[in-house]
């Protein structure tokens, strides 16, 4: 892990703000792949990097553990969570079930409100322009906005950590897809799903969701890992 200059805390940055800053920085490193699955997080290095004491760092790591991004191992410290092929399959299955429930709920009374649809459409604009690691963030924002259409606060609370844990593997999937398809194909799929949702047709939206291709290019990697 490379050292960085400590952040400029400023006169108004309290303990909770510092904890949140550390959470945000470490989470970003995990989601963009700078910290790999299974990599150990060394407290001494992190306290130097963020210019903080152990207490706020440990609280930040506790919060990241609640989000499913790191795991605390007895007598071995903390590491970035390393999902097994079965974990990934189960999480994708859970994500699919939650999204189908969200779409069914959102369209129970017809098309969603225009302001909610506008928020979802804006995420497609991000997918169109994002490059590199930002593409994974843009895809995550689309799926969060899709589930948010249901207006179900507890559903979103359950769904978001599932999506966070899957983001590294979704990024792998997108890199594999980019080897055989253009970026425009990904935009087209998201636009097709958006159009089906905007129509208010539950069956059409669920069909578009089932063919969205969330893990098409990850299957070979999972199969190789099982061997």
Which residue in 157, 159, 179 sits closest to 167, CA to CA? 159
Give the model confidence (pLDDT) of 119-149 as tens digits.
999 999 998 887 766 777 888 899 999 999 9
The reported pLDDT for the residue numbered 75 is 84
pTM of this structure: 0.74
Looking up tokens 């490379």 gives: 2
Instruction: Indicate if the pLDDT at residue 100 is higher than 50.
Output: yes
Domains of the chain: 15-80 (1.10.10.10), 85-226 (1.20.120.530)
Average pLDDT of the residues in 114-120? 93
Instruction: Indicate if the pLDDT at residue 14 is higher than 60.
Output: no
Give the model confidence (pLDDT) of 27-84 as tens digits.
888 887 788 889 999 999 999 998 889 999 999 999 999 888 899 998 889 999 888 8
The reported pLDDT for the residue numbered 9 is 44
Give the model confidence (pLDDT) of 158-183 as tens digits.
999 898 888 767 665 655 555 555 66
């Amino acid at each position: 892990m490379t050292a960085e200059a400590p952040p400029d805390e400023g006169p108004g940055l309290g303990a909770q703000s510092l904890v949140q800053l550390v959470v945000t920085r470490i989470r970003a490193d995990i989601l963009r792949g700078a910290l790999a699955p299974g990599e150990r997080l060394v407290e001494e290095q992190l306290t130097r990097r963020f210019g903080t004491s152990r207490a706020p760092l440990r609280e930040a790591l506790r919060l990241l553990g609640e989000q499913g991004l790191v795991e605390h191992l007895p007598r071995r410290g903390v590491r970035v969570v390393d999902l097994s092929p079965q974990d990934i399959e189960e999480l994708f299955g859970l994500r699919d079930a939650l999204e189908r429930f969200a779409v069914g709920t959102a369209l129970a009374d017809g098309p969603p409100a225009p302001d909610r649809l506008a928020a979802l459409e804006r995420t497609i604009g991000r997918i169109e322009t994002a490059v590199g690691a930002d593409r994974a963030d843009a895809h995550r924002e689309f799926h969060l906005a899709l589930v948010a259409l249901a207006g179900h606060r507890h559903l979103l609370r359950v769904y978001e950590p599932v999506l966070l844990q899957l983001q590294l593997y979704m990024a792998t999937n997108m890199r594999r897809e980019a080897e055989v398809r253009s970026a425009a194909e990904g935009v087209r799929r998201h636009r097709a799903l958006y159009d089906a949702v905007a129509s208010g047709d539950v069956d059409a939206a669920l069909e578009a969701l089932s063919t969205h291709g969330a893990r098409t290019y990850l299957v070979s990697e999972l199969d190789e890992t099982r061997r």
